[in-house]
A and B are shown apart, each in its own frame.
Chain A
Amino acid sequence: GQQVMQIPQYQHVQEGEDFTTYCNSSTTLSNIQWYKQRPGGHPVFLIQLVKSGEVKKQKRLTFQFGEAKKNSSLHITATQTTDVGTYFCAGRFYGGATNKLIFGTGTLLAVQP
C-alpha cells in the first residue's frame, strides 16, 4: 500500500540552530503537503508542493519536492522557540488513491532556549 516515511522521529536543537526533516515515499506522489502541530493542538496546513523539483519558502522555512516526486524536505533556518511542535508531511498518490491524504509519522522538534 501507499506509505510515507518521515525521519527523524525526534530532533532536539538549541535555539538558533537549523533543522531539517525528510519525507520519503516508495512510489511517485501526485503532490505533497506539510503540516505543523503544536503540542496539544491540531495539525495546521503550511504548504503544498506539486511540481517536480519545486522549492518554496516561507520566511525561515524552505520546502523542497524531489525531482522524482518521491521525496520532500522541510528546512528551518535559525530555529526559534515558536517552532516547537510536530511537523508532518502528507502525500497524495496517483490513480484511485488521489482521494487519500496519507500522512508521514511526523518529526517532533524541541527547541532549547
Chain B
Amino acid sequence: NAGVTQTPKFQVLKTGQSMTLQCAQDMNHEYMSWYRQDPGMGLRLIHYSVGAGITDQGEVPNGYNVSRSTTEDFPLRLLSAAPSQTSVYFCASSLGPMDTEAFFGQGTRLTVV
C-alpha cells in the first residue's frame, strides 16, 4: 500500500521557470490538499479539493494552480517560480473532509534561485 506519493523529492528551479509537483494516492480518498512548510510558519494550506473536479483556495494560494481530474491525482503547478516559493511542499489526503486523519506524502523540497 503506497499511500500518498509525491514526486520529485528535490527540485531546483530558476526564477521564472514553471513546474508541476505531482501527488498521487491509492486509498480512494476524496479529500486532498497541498501545504507548504517554512521555518517558524508551520504548515500553510495552499489549495485543497473535496473530490474530482472540485478545488478551492487555502491560506496562501497566490502563485499556485491546481486541478483534480481524477480521484487519485492532485498536481500542484507553479506557473512562474519565485524565490519566495522556496519551501518544502506536502500533499495530504483523507477519506473525507471531516473527522478523519490526513495522510501526508514524503514531501518535495523546492529551491528557487
Number of interface residues of A (CB under 8 A): 26
Give which listed residue, B40, B50, B104, contacts A105 with CB less than 8 A.
B40
Q: What distance in Å separates the Cβ of A104 from its nearest Cβ neighbour in chain B?
A: 6
B75 at interface by CB-CB < 8 Å: no
A42 and B99 contact, Cβ closer than 8 Å, known pairs A102-B59, A103-B35: no
Count of chain A to chain B residue pairs whose CB atoms are closer than 8 Å in the complex: 60
In contact, B102 and A105 (Cβ under 8 angstroms): no
Cβ-defined contact, A103 with B43, below 8 A: yes
Closest Cβ of chain A: how far from B70's Cβ, in Å?
A: 19
Within 8 A of B (CB), among A43-66: 43-45, 48, 50
Task: Say whether A1 contacts B102, CB under 8 Å.
Answer: no
Q: Are A88 and B43 in contact (CB under 8 A)?
A: yes
B42 touching A106, Cβ below 8 Å: yes
Are B98 and A92 neighbours in the complex by a CB distance under 8 Å? yes
- A31 vs B42: C-alpha distance when bound (angstroms): 19
> Cβ of A12: which chain B residues have Cβ within 8 Å of it?
none
- Report the separation of the CA atoms of residues A50 and B43 in the bound assembly, to the nearest whole angstrom: 21
In the complex, what residues of A have CB within 8 A of residue B58's CB?
Answer: 100
Expressed in whole angstroms, the minimum distance between the Cβ of A71 and any Cβ of chain B is 17
Interface contact A48-B45, CB-CB below 8 Å = no
Among A48, A92, A99, A104, find the residue whose CB has the most chain B CB atoms closer than 10 A.
A99
Q: Any chain B CB within 8 A of the CB of A9?
A: yes
**A1/B59 in contact, CB under 8 A:** yes
Nearest residue, chain B, Cβ from A40: B107
Q: Please, which residues of chain B bring their CB within 8 A of the CB of A44?
A: 104
13 A/B residue pairs, CB under 8 Å, sorted by A: A6-B42, A33-B101, A42-B90, A42-B105, A43-B43, A43-B102, A45-B101, A45-B102, A50-B99, A101-B33, A103-B43, A105-B40, A105-B41
- Chain B interface residues (CB < 8 Å from chain A): 31, 33, 35, 40-45, 48, 50, 56, 58-59, 90, 92, 97-99, 101-107
